[in-house]
Structure 1
């Protein structure tokens, strides 16, 4: 009996071993034996993998705005020849005999980079004046890989804007937005070529509007944003969430050359005014009255009997200029230009610049506590000469 039991136990062990081997190596044999899907399956089940549903636009994405505007933003590479200082001993014949022409160093080529925005299908591109100023060669590279050499159509150093042109077909022009409808807190996107890494887009909000007194340009009305702007972004686009241009990235506030979340863009209203002036006349025509304005401090306001941030002091009058001919005197306080209140020196300069030359304007002054209204025949402001200083590689 014991012998039979041992034989049974051995047979059962062998059968279980065979079953385990078959289940491991050929599990489909057991499935077939059990009738396909009926019965118990000894095969190991696989874990299901969950995939997110395909969506056309991710929530909160600005891909449509970026896709619309990015083809209109170009990379600009400039080259300028810098003449090195001549060795003072080069005029000595004996010195030239031993050292020859090597004593007089050859000119050095300086390269810089920036960005620009295509504003017309015919090839007009707006950028910063400091990007292309004094450049010997301007190369433009589009997002589709096309390249072209650009020529300067005109520039406006007082707003740091320049208009250049390339000759290529089928250019994707950007749509100009309405900056007057923008508000602090609106989301904006900055597009450019920071550090030459290639076209890049950053996001932020409008931090302030009408920012001035920065001593960057003569005429200032900046959009301030915390969208990252770095060297190479100069001349690039600041767009709204619909992909419309609302500003040209121009400057940053930085102690080390990197972005600190304080960037400045020239509003599209100024951009359009400058472009129209350059296309019509080759340069921007602005009004001028020939005075030296000065901010009114608290002490001056008390002495002249006016409120702070209400008018600007005329510190000097150019002899023979429009203001002098109209009877304006040093010490007068300009408080209105054509019934528009003057708040400070910057506001006064902007208001005067917008006046058409060779036409009369009504200017209201305060002289020795009395209101005085003068008709001034507006003159033409002379454009400053182009600077020959080295251009910066990025926003100023």
Structure 2
């Protein structure tokens, strides 16, 4: 076939050649096995995210039925000005100017001295026993618990422990959903954690994060501190609700958050469930918290002094005995001021706060063994604990 001489001439300039090469390379990339691998990898990542989302959904659905909303009516503390006001308005010479009755005045006085609060909790047995924070129900004159199905019950206080901020309450109900309790000693930094509760009265709110740290003490929230730190959002109203792991087991009681603005800043604290379980058992049994007592004052040993002891690597922390109470179990033992304690019952301690908590949670009357250092010598010391 003769060539069409009228057809436009195809001139391949350097720029045109470059564009053609780029187009060709792009097509080769799209059709290459590497491109398919990248798409496959992206699909795998999306599937992983979908699996994570599904896991969160499954945990939320499993846990939420056992989480409750707690509404509390509280008696406010009266001060001298309240007493002076009552005395003034109860004066017959003053009452005649207002024309109200004694009942009206009592209602007004009650209203002035009543406040309301709210928080969260979770059911730990089918008979209606609920774990929450002591500060949620502090000074309560009336406690109302609302279940996930909307039913409301009056609650009574079984016991509370302000020193750890743990409380146990009960409602008259049965066959309730129960939240299983996990093991907070097995937590690792980076583990997933979900917080469930009623922040700002937003009932059944679920937030997710990770375990940021464990064994937090000296936070200034309670007397006995061993907090789990999390970045799962905790806000006012979350108090008393559960912190759960990815398997839907309670690993802590959400208690407080650190803030400079009044709102969430990514630092929340939960009481470890292993501590809460011991306290709940004693509250259930005695109606109050009983603690074992050794009768010593202790403080963390400075790192430079710890190094001079040339301890085994397994002992990364130690507690220095700074005081010994008179007529205490410690005073009756061979323990001395200046002794350094590195382990209790063959388990290394994580510092003074850890030792203090472990002693307190031991059974009163039980016998413990402390591993001590004195004058370059290591020795075990067995002591029977008293009760505080």
Q: TM-score, normalised by structure 2?
A: 0.74
1:351 is aligned to 358
Contact 1:360 1:375 in 2 (8 A): yes
Cα separation, partners in 2 of 1:244 and 1:94, compared to 1, 3 Å: closer
For these two proteins, the number of residue pairs brought into alignment is 324
1:320 aligns with 2:327: yes
In structure 1, the residue matched to 2:94 is 99
2:75–2:139 Cα contact (<8 Å) kept: no
Structure-to-structure mapping, 1:339-378, within 5 angstroms: 339-378=346-385
Match of 1:279 in 2: 284
Residue 123 in structure 1 maps to residue 128 in structure 2: yes
Q: Cα 1:91–1:178, aligned 2, differ >3 Å: closer, same or farther?
A: closer
Distance 2:202 2:321 in 1: 49
Name the residue aligned to 1:75: 69
Higher relative contact order (CA 8 A, sep 6+): 1
CA contact (8 A) 1:296 1:309 kept: no
Displacement of 1:155 after TM fit? 1.6
For structure 2, which runs of at least 5 residues remain unmatched after alignment? 1-48, 99-104
Gap change, CA 1:72 and 1:368, over 3 Å in 2:
same
Partner of 1:64: 58
Partner in structure 2 of residue 268 of structure 1: 273
Runs of 5+ in structure 1 lacking a partner?
1-56, 383-396
Q: Does 1:111 align with 2:123?
A: no
| Counterparts of residues 224-303 of structure 1 (less than 5 Å) | 224-298=229-303, 301=306
Provide the alpha-carbon RMSD of the alignment: 3.1
Deviates more, 1:314-323 or 1:195-204: 195-204
State the Cα deviation string for residues 230-260 of structure 1 (Å, max 9, x = none): 0000011222233322221111111122111
Secondary structure at 1:65 match in 2:
helix
> Which SS does the other structure have where 1:185 is aligned?
coil
Check whether the contact 1:75–1:140 (CA below 8 A) recurs between aligned residues: yes
Q: 1:282-320, CA deviations, whole angstroms, 9 ceiling, x for partnerless residues?
A: 334332110111222256558x85779532111111111
Larger CA Rg, structure 1 vs 2: 1
Is contact 1:363–1:374 with CA below 8 Å preserved after alignment? yes
TM-score w.r.t. the length of structure 1 is 0.73
Give the Cα–Cα distance (whole angstroms) in 2 for the partners of residues 335 and 93 of structure 1: 62
Comparing both structures, which one devotes a greater share of its residues to helix?
2
Is the CA contact 2:275–2:361 (under 8 Å) kept in the aligned structure 1?
Answer: no
Deviation of 1:80 (Å)? 1.2
| DSSP 3-state at the match of 2:149 | coil
